[in-house]
Chain A
């Protein structure tokens, strides 16, 4: 394990930024967000960013290819490019886990080359959560806020930043800043881990369990009468899907430019009424059905297809952002029954 004094952190950032684009969480008007590091940019102390870190690998909008058309002719232009090296610093445990969930979608055959090329170039430095909040329930999904994954795991104390490489990519990055870091024992880190675990135990959502959910539960929950009540106020605004680190639905659209046609992909939401609209009808005609889809996907369908892994990391974003205060915890408590309360 290495450590660096917080007073030297800017130097470390500068060293990293020499070879790669470096993004760190920065405070802003609406909360924290990942920004490109430059001289003078200070790291946020906020627990997490408003938007998740999925943008780095699955951006809200990206061009897939271009076309030129003339008369009856079409030219297909594959303008995919090698991505640049980049480092994302300060990703929380829940969001790091979300990459694993997205990987299972985008890196399964046929591999999504756009996502894969960013995954290949990106280095993740995670940051343990010193002060988890009342909307956090990562523990429900087996995630340890005190010991996040990633290429490097970092722990921040009052005075120092402790760094531990978990992968080859992480080793490489650590060696790039070795001149300003020093070897250390992990005592301070062990201390912090204990503190974090103690906080986690006391969080209001610490008793939410996944026990009642997972693979093979479609029949049990699909026709539950609870969906009517749960979805009755949902506005179908899609906010929960956009802030969610594990939501991955997308649309593909064409855009005519002066030079030709750009085919781009953008985030879409299963909460939208036109998501499944077809000429002969809509397979999810009401908001109840769309609402049910989102939560059944996270709690049952995704586990069905992914060895029981859930498609929620308990980041709590949907808890804080839904305009009608509906969220996955309420769904789990209502469907799962009393034991889940």
Chain B
């Protein structure tokens, strides 16, 4: 429940800001000059704020859409990300946001139209192949839909901009907005999974695997393409059994024609973020795992990563065609150490 909303002066004139305020009629409003006044200062404790984040309404200026590294993606020629929202409703212990952001407050950039203009401009550039836009880098794309109206606002735009392809990355099971609309072939809703036992330990607030599977079923039935993201791969007791069980649960229930893509992602966090995450949770078993500094990142030791990834890849290929499997390649060990 949000009961304090900070807002940049002037932003309340924006109709989307008014809509958000209407959803929280009893919230206290606190003005600020710029969202960074509240969000950026050092000396904040992300983990404490996570107990009760406030909402900051702001307008995004400057660069709105950014390219993502060429090794990430799901087959598109050009891949971009944008962030209409910073931070997430859920609280996953492995989440890099807690290492990247000084604050756990939600920052909502209300000027969706500017993101859309930029996406339109990029899709109109002379180009080969598809352009993908990823909306879930700094947040969960769906979890806060009731507050943000993000998907509801982007669907009409995407229906008129078929060359732009959007990935909604989520762990939410609240897919009502998609169920209420006509499916669009250029919007893929990608659900991230870890085995249930891991989720219970590390993913606070995230709906169960079963409820997410039911959500997938509902939107697949409506014709929406869906993706599965096995990301991050986490080393654990009974690793093989747990991941095999997860795959056994996921794939038989997914209609082939709805499955757009499956991707495998390893656990890797920039070292500076990892240092902050460890400091926030010094007694977290995950951070005491078989990790190593590799290049500028912290990840599982190379042999563990290779072995676990190979196992999952092999198991996935028993269940899905190779053309649908993508792996976020990392070449951490090739990076020079600072």
- Note whether A and B form a binding pair: no
Q: Contact residues of A with B, CB < 8 Å?
A: none
